[in-house]
Chain A
């Protein structure tokens, strides 16, 4: 039970953060979605299609962020045997997979009218698809063992190996010719008109706080599952 002491403290902190995160998420969504989908200006070139960006870009960023948490949590679990870190990693995977899937899907919906094709095998799209599969692989591998400890370890190693994909996704549009346009962030600043920055960052805020809410639920579920398992072992059933 000593190992669970730390998770309990973590969950206590989480209980205090969660309602605030949920409230902030709802506010960001309530304000951000109408601005993004209706009240923000259309693009000079793409018209109303540019509104897909307000879902696509935050989803893409969050899918990278979730993987970052997963990799950091896995490293901390492998090196320092931190159970909470591993739980954070395990809880981040489905959220990250959802964001990566959303990014791919909205990207296809955006690519069809603008590029003239929903999918091409350029470096950005391919590396993003690989990220999606890494999430699925991590979840499948983590649950593929009879002893959960083995699954945790195998998943953590996969998460760390897969983290080389993160810089590849980020810099794919700079290193290679690609159909996908470069990032709106560059040394020169942000290449987004000021009227479009607010809705984008409100959506980023909504996705980020949503992640916090869901990941805390995920960690709580794992702590409770571990407790149930420990109690069963003690009773010998």
Chain B
């Protein structure tokens, strides 16, 4: 075998070994790499009251109640919902139907006490006129975090109600 071919195989094998190693490490640490849990994840995990975690989901429509500087709302991943209580300034993008990530801990009552609330946004960028036109035409499909499913579910509920 020529030295060049030898070196080529050596590097390919080395690369394969490094990639496998990293893949195993990442798979093993998956729980710490995910930035937040969804409300559904929460029912499958054992999380002690007081343990600091992050919860992500969509702010449920009609669930936001402001009382002074305390705000309570529900986040949902369309399967499960979780009540969140937060005192502080909310990001500008916080609104019903928006994806958010809340950091804090579960209280014994089952309510999530958030110390920070961050807003997520999706990868759909468009001018306001286009967004309005899409909404008017009924073609509005936010695709973030299962928002699409939530939207479809909501539309289905409305149409069954009207029938």
Interface residues of A (CB under 8 A from B): 41-46, 50, 53, 75, 78-80, 113-117, 120-123, 160-161, 163-164, 168, 175-179, 181-184, 186, 191-193, 195-196
Contact = CB atoms under 8 A, between A and B. Distances in A.
Given A114-B91, A160-B11, A179 B118 contact: yes
Contacts of B90: 116
Given A113-B92, A177-B34, A44 B123 contact: no
A45 B121 contact: yes
A161 to B, nearest CB: 6
A6 B95 CA distance: 61
B136 interface: no
Interface residues of B, number: 42
B119 to A, nearest CB: 6
Interface of B: 4, 7-8, 11, 14-15, 18-19, 22, 26, 30, 33-38, 56, 90-93, 101, 116-132, 143-144
Given A41-B127, A42-B127, A113-B92, A164 B22 contact: yes
Among B14, B123, B143, max chain A CB count under 10 A is at B123
Contact of B123 (A79, A113, A182): A182
A61 B124 CA distance: 18
A125 to B, nearest CB: 9
Contacts of A122: 35
A123 B93 CA distance: 22
A176 B30 contact: yes
Contact of A46 (B121, B129, B132): B121
Contact of B125 (A163, A175, A183, A191): A191
A161 B4 CA distance: 19
B7 A79 contact: yes
A168 B26 contact: yes
Contacts of B93: 45-46, 114-116
A79 B14 CA distance: 13
A95 to B, nearest CB: 24
